[in-house]
Amino acid sequence: MAALRILLVDDHRVIADSLARLLQDDPTIQIVGIAATGPEAVSLARLLHPSLVVMDIGLPGMDGVEATWTIRRQCPEVQVLMLTMFEQDAFAIDALRAGAAGYLLKTATQAELFQAIHTVCEGEGLVYPRTATAAFQRAASPRSRQQDPGALSRRELQVLQLVAAGADISAIGRQLLLSPHTVRNHLKGVYRKLGVHGRVEAAAYAVRRGLIKS
């Protein structure tokens, strides 16, 4: 399996270097670059085409949310995971709206960080659980959709409820007694029926439309 190419973005070099050493414990991860400013992050993302940018929010020159917005539009194949000390819902909401696939606090454990990186690189969304509900409620744009939400099955609605609570594929499977493969198949059905492209967008749409409890 090809290594996950990671670009780290943090204006504190000691933190960035420590994070790089930590991530190199995972043999499936390759650190391809470190940026200290928003503009440098955008430039390196265009140059290096990483699998994932691990992005801080408080950056000089251009904050992490704006840098995420720019990267996602110039390099749509590059995923972004926000890694920050900001626990407030507003920051998570802004990051998701900018196109981040995940939002994680720097207080996360090493295992949680590795899991978040792999989850996002697999095309799934991830939000720190305590910010999940508000972020999902407000992150989606207000544009209307034509899909009929009534087509969702009971199991698909259960999966969506857990996604909105911040659960990942493994946690959903454990709670519903389903294999990860089956959970992913249910999510694919949700994406198709709602006309969305990922867990964050699906859960935001579902909460906004009242399909699941907020």
Statement: residue 160 has pLDDT above 60:
yes
Q: Are 90 and 70 in contact (CB under 8 A)?
A: no
pLDDT band at 126 (very low <50, low <70, confident <90, very high): low
Choose among 111, 110, 139: nearest CA to 125: 139
Interval 76-98: pLDDT, tens: 899 999 998 887 777 887 788 78
Mean pLDDT over residues 85-113, rounded? Answer: 83
CA 102 to CA 193: how far, in whole Å?
A: 23
Q: Where in the chain is the domain with CATH 3.40.50.2300?
A: 4-138
Q: Where in the chain is the domain with CATH 1.10.10.10?
A: 141-208
Specify the CATH number for 4-138; select among 3.40.50.2300, 3.40.640.10, 2.30.40.10, 3.40.50.150.
3.40.50.2300
Q: What is the pLDDT of residue 189?
A: 87
Give the 3-state secondary structure of residue 117.
helix
Mean pLDDT over residues 121-135, rounded? Answer: 63
DSSP H or E segment with residue 19: helix 13-23
Q: How far is CA 65 from CA 75, 135, 155, 202, in A?
A: 15, 14, 34, 21
User: With the C-alpha atoms ordered 20, 23, 26, 27, is the resulting torsion angle positive or negative?
Assistant: negative
The hierarchical CATH code for the domain 141-208 is 1.10.10.10
Mean pLDDT over residues 61-79, rounded? Answer: 90
Statement: residue 40 has pLDDT above 90:
yes
Q: pTM of the entire structure?
A: 0.65
| Percent of the chain residues past pLDDT 90, beyond the cut | 34
